[in-house]
Structure formats: structure tokens, C-alpha cells
Amino acid sequence: SAVISQKPSRDICQRGTSLTIQCQVDSQVTMMFWYRQQPGQSLTLIATANQGSEATYESGFVIDKFPISRPNLTFSTLTVSNMSPEDSSIYLCSVGALAGTEQFFGPGTRLTVL
């Protein structure tokens, strides 16, 4: 198993600003994932972050809006850029050991954009 922490746990931001969310894992992992959970919606995968390479974005998500860093095997950041109220969501970080197996989730970051 893996223990994941996220910072901040919540934030209220103004339109047009950016917020960087940090994800820290207590062990080295190959794959880290970023999800978005909009109010009343399911979890949607934003991107997969591998250490030492560019993140892989899902359809509908672009690097300019959601830049991701993965400087080492225990840490990643997701930035939500030029925010609008539609970006108000819970953002979750997760890790997985093997393809098709359990993923471990962080506690989430609740973002409200005014």
C-alpha cells in the first residue's frame, strides 16, 4: 500500500489566478495520476505523470491549462492555470503499482474559484 498526502487540502481562489497542488507519496512509485471530481460528477482522469517524462493527458485536458511536474518518484504537482469558476472541483492524486490493479488515493484538494 501507499500513503499519499496532498497540499493544500482546500483553497478559495480568484478567477484568472493559478493554483499548484502538491502530491507526496511515502514510497517510490512509477505512475502517478491526477483526477478531477466536479460537483455531482464522477472522477475523471486528467493525466498520468511518469518520472522523467512528459505527462500524458486525457482527451479534453491540455498541458497549458494543467501543467504537471514529476521531479522524482515520490512527488508530483498539478497546476490549475488561469482559473475560472468551472474549475471548482476536488482534485485527487493517486498511485498504482501495476497496471489493472488497485490504486491508492490521496485525500483530495477542494478548490473553489470565485
Partner 1 sequence: AQRVTQPEKLLSVFKGAPVELKCNYSYSGSPELFWYVQYSRQRLQLLLRHISRESIKGFTADLNKGETSFHLKKPFAQEEDSAMYYCALTTSGTYKYIFGTGTRLKVLA
The residue length of the chain stands at: 114
Shortest distance, position 101 Cβ to partner 1, whole Å: 8
| 9 residue type, one letter | S
61 belongs to the binding site for partner 1 (CB under 8 A): no
From residue 92, give the alpha-carbon distance in Å to each of 38, 47.
11, 11
* 54 φ/ψ angles, rounded to the nearest 5 degrees: -65, 145
Tell me whether residue 4 or residue 83 sits nearer to partner 1 (CB atom).
Answer: 4
Shortest distance, position 18 Cβ to partner 1, whole Å: 25
73 belongs to the binding site for partner 1 (CB under 8 A): no
29 belongs to the binding site for partner 1 (CB under 8 A): no
13 belongs to the binding site for partner 1 (CB under 8 A): no
Contact indicator for 9, 110 with CB cutoff of 8 Å: yes
Per 3-state DSSP, what percentage of the chain is helix, strand, and coil (rounded to 5)? 5, 50, 45
Residues 37-56 that bind partner 1 (CB under 8 A): 40-45, 48
Please report, as ranges, the residues that interact with partner 1 according to CB under 8 A. 4, 31, 33, 40-45, 48, 58, 92, 96, 99-100, 102-108
